[in-house]
Copies of this chain bind each other. A is one copy, B any other.
Amino acid sequence: MRSSPVAAAMSGHACRVDRRRFLERMVLGVGLAASWPPVFSEGFSGEDMKGQARSEDARIVVFQGDSVTDVGRNREQLGPNDPAGLGAGYASMATGQLLGNAPDSRWQCYNRGVSGDKVHQLAARWQVDCLDLRPDVLSILIGVNDFWHTLSSGYDGTVATYERDYRALLDRTRGVLPDVALVIGEPFAVTGGTALNDAWYPAYADYRAAAKRVAEDYGAVWIPYQSIFDDALVRAPVEHWCPDGVHPAPAGNYLMAQAWLDAFRAVLVA
Q: Which of B237, B248, B250 contacts A95 (CB 8 A)?
A: B250
| Cβ-defined contact, A97 with B254, below 8 A | yes
Instruction: Indicate the size class of the contact surface on chain A.
Output: 35 or more
Q: Which of B38, B100, B240, B255 contacts A250 (CB 8 A)?
A: B100
Say whether chain A's binding surface is mostly helix, strand, loop, or mixed: loop
Determine whether A191 belongs to the interface, using a CB cutoff of 8 Å to chain B: no
Comparing A8-16, A80-88, A137-145, the segment that makes contact with chain B is A80-88
A244 interface contact, C-beta 8 A: no
Q: At the interface, yes or no: A71 with Cβ under 8 Å from chain B?
A: yes
User: Which residues in B have their C-beta under 8 angstroms from that of A199?
Assistant: none
**Would you give the 0/1 interface string for A208-247, flagging 1 where the beta carbon is closer than 8 Å to chain B?**
0000000000000000000000001001110110000001
- Once A1-B31, A36-B235 are accepted as A-B contacts, the answer to whether A251 and B88 lie under 8 Å apart by CB is no
A100 CA to B29 CA, complexed, in Å: 18
Q: Is the CB of A96 within 8 A of B1?
A: no
Q: Determine if A37 is an interface residue (Cβ-Cβ < 8 Å).
A: yes
Is A103 in contact with chain B by the CB < 8 A criterion?
yes
Chain A residues in contact with chain B, CB under 8 A? 1, 29-32, 36-38, 40, 43, 71-74, 77, 81-84, 86-89, 92-93, 95-97, 99-101, 103-104, 109, 232, 235-237, 239-240, 247-255, 257-258
CB distance from A28 to the nearest CB of B (A): 11
- Would B30 and A250 count as touching, CB distance under 8 A? no
Q: Give 20 A-B contacts (CB < 8 Å), ordered by A residue.
A: A40-B239, A40-B240, A71-B84, A72-B83, A72-B88, A73-B88, A83-B88, A83-B249, A86-B88, A87-B88, A88-B88, A88-B92, A92-B92, A92-B93, A96-B253, A99-B250, A100-B251, A100-B254, A100-B255, A104-B235
